[in-house]
Amino acid sequence: MKRRDFLKTVGALSLAGCASAMPSRARVVVVGGGFGGATAAKYIRMWAPSVDVVLVERESAFVSCPISNLVLAGYSSMPEISHGYDGLRRHGVQVVQDDAIAVDAQKKTVRLARGGDIAYERLIVSPGIDFSFADIEGYEAAMQAGRVLHAWKAGEQTVALRRQLEDLRDGGVVVLSIPLAPYRCPPGPYERASMIAAYLKQAKPRSKLLVLDANPDVTSKGPLFKKAWSDLYQGVLEYRGNAKAVGVDARSMTVKLEVEDVRGDLLNVVPPQRAGNIAMSAGLITHNNRWCDVDWRSMESKKVPGVHVLGDATLSAPLMPKSGSMANNHAKIAAAAIIEQLSGRPPQPEPQILNTCYSFVSQKEAIRVSSVHRWDAKDATLKPVAGSGGVSAARSEAEGTFAWNWARTIWSDTLS
C-alpha cells in the first residue's frame, strides 16, 4: 500500500469509529520489521484480530542475517535470504515503509521521517543494532569510501563483501575483526570466519584469513568452531584473541590494534554495537549508552511506560544471546502481554522462552547451541533453566539439514 493510501485508510477507520460512537479499536504500532518486530505484528493480529497493528519499516523487504554468511561463500543468495512483507499484510498488518525518527511517550505518538505522527495505544520498538563507528578511528570515512565493510546488517554490504572476496587475488590476505561482546549474534563472526575460509580454500587456495578477535577467546561454541578450523581450514585460517581494533587506515589497508598494525588486502571490520538509533532518540537506553533494560514479563521498557523493546536492542538477560530466535521469542512475550494489557489484565506471570542457534562451519555441516530461559521471580529476570540446553555433540550434515529447516521455518513464522 502506498503511504498516502494508508493514511486515508487509517483516517477513515478513526472517523468511522467516532461517527458511530462505537468503541475505537486499539492500535499497536511496531517500529522495525526484523525477527522481533515482524513476529510481534503477526502474532498480535493472530491472537487478537480486533487489534489494529501498524508496522513501520524503512526497507521494502526483510533481509535475513542468519544464512547471510553463506551468501559470502556462494552457498546461498540474496534472493534466498530476502523476504517481502506481503505475508504480514495477509494477517491484516498495515505496513508503512518509512523511518521512525522520534517517539512522544506523553502524547503516545511516533514521528515518521517523511512527515506525520502515528498515535499508538502500545508501542513496540524492535530496532536491531546500530554501530558505534567512533570507537574505531577512521572507520566511518573508510567505510564511506568502500575500503572497509562490516556486513553485520544483511543487505548491500553483504553483496559488496561477496564482490570483494570474488575480486581478491589468489594469495591475498583477508582480515576479519570482531568487537568485544555483547554484539549481535555471538557465534556469527566465527561462522563468517568459517565461510570465508571455505571460500578461500576452494577458490583462492594461496590466500589467508586472519581473524582478529577483541575477546580473549571464541565467545560461542568455541571447541566446536576450533575443531572445525583445525580439521578443515588449517593453513587458511589464523585466529588471534585479545586483538581489539582501535583504528583503520584505508590508504595503507591496515587495522590498528592496541599494540601493532595488521595489513590486509580485504578488511571486514565489525564495529562495536548498540541499540538502534530510534531506541536512543526515544530515550529507551538504560545501560552504557548502548542497551535497553526491559521487564521480561512484558518486554516493556523500564524507562518509558507503554513502550516495549525487543531483540538485539535489549540489555540481555543472563546468558541470553542477541539472536534471531530470541528476538522472535521476545516478540511472543510482548504480543501476549500487550493483548492482556489492552484488555486491562496483567501480563502472563511467568514467561518461558527458548533459543536455538545454528552456525555453518562448511557448506553442509553445522553446529548448534540451545538454551531455555525461565522467569526467576527472586532476581526478576529470565534465567537459563538448570540442566537444560547445550551444544551439538559434533559438527554434522544432519545439523546442517536442521539449520536450513530452522532458517526457512523462522522466516515463515516471522513473516508469513
Partner 1 sequence: MSTTLAWTTAALVCIAATPAAAQDVAGRNLAASCAICHGTDGRIATKDSPLIPLAGLPKDHIATQLRAFRDGKRPATVMHQIAKGYTDPQIDAIAAWFAAQKR
Which residues here bind partner 1, judged by CB under 8 A?
7, 10-11, 14, 17, 23-27, 43, 46-51, 107-109, 114-121, 325, 328-329, 332-333, 336, 339, 342-343, 345, 348, 351-354, 356, 368, 370-372, 374, 385, 387-390, 392-393, 396, 398-399, 401-402, 405-406, 408-410, 412-413, 416
C-alpha separations of 296 from 83, 122, 218, 318, 353 in Å:
29, 16, 28, 12, 10
Between residues 27 and 308, which has the closer beta carbon with respect to partner 1? 27
SS3 content of the chain, % helix, strand, coil (to 5): 35, 30, 40
User: What does the alpha-carbon distance between residue 209 and residue 231 come to, in Å, rounded to a whole number?
Assistant: 16
Residue 183 burial by CB count (10 A; 0-12/13-18/19+): exposed, middle or buried? Answer: buried
List the grid coordinates of 188. Answer: 556469527
Q: Are 179 and 170 in contact (CB under 8 A)?
A: no
Closest approach, Cβ 329 to partner 1, in A, equals 6
Between residues 82 and 132, which has the closer beta carbon with respect to partner 1? 82
Closest approach, Cβ 11 to partner 1, in A, equals 7
Between residues 106 and 252, which has the closer beta carbon with respect to partner 1? 106
Between residues 230 and 401, which has the closer beta carbon with respect to partner 1? 401
Q: What is the dihedral of CA 296, 220, 132, 163, to 10 degrees?
A: -130
Closest approach, Cβ 279 to partner 1, in A, equals 22
The helix/strand/coil state of 164 is helix
Between residues 145 and 393, which has the closer beta carbon with respect to partner 1? 393
Phi-psi group of 21: left, alpha or beta (phi > 0 → left; psi -120 to 50 → alpha; rest → beta): left
Between residues 27 and 256, which has the closer beta carbon with respect to partner 1? 27
Between residues 121 and 265, which has the closer beta carbon with respect to partner 1? 121
Closest approach, Cβ 110 to partner 1, in A, equals 10
- The residues, ordered by sequence, that sit 6+ positions from 282 with a Cβ below 8 Å of its Cβ are 102, 103, 105, 125, 304, 307
Between residues 165 and 331, which has the closer beta carbon with respect to partner 1? 331
Residue by residue, DSSP assigns 296-332 as TTTTEESSSTTEEE-GGGB-PPTT----HHHHHHHHH
Q: Are 111 and 103 in contact (CB under 8 A)?
A: yes
Closest approach, Cβ 316 to partner 1, in A, equals 17
Between residues 149 and 282, which has the closer beta carbon with respect to partner 1? 282
List the grid coordinates of 49. Answer: 484480530
List the grid coordinates of 72. Answer: 559470502
Between residues 271 and 351, which has the closer beta carbon with respect to partner 1? 351
Closest approach, Cβ 374 to partner 1, in A, equals 7
Closest approach, Cβ 408 to partner 1, in A, equals 4
Using the 8-state DSSP alphabet, how is residue 135 labeled?
A: G
User: What does the alpha-carbon distance between residue 338 and residue 358 come to, in Å, rounded to a whole number?
Assistant: 30
Closest approach, Cβ 15 to partner 1, in A, equals 9
Q: Which of 53, 3, 85 is nearest to 414 (CA)?
A: 85
Closest approach, Cβ 16 to partner 1, in A, equals 12
Closest approach, Cβ 230 to partner 1, in A, equals 23
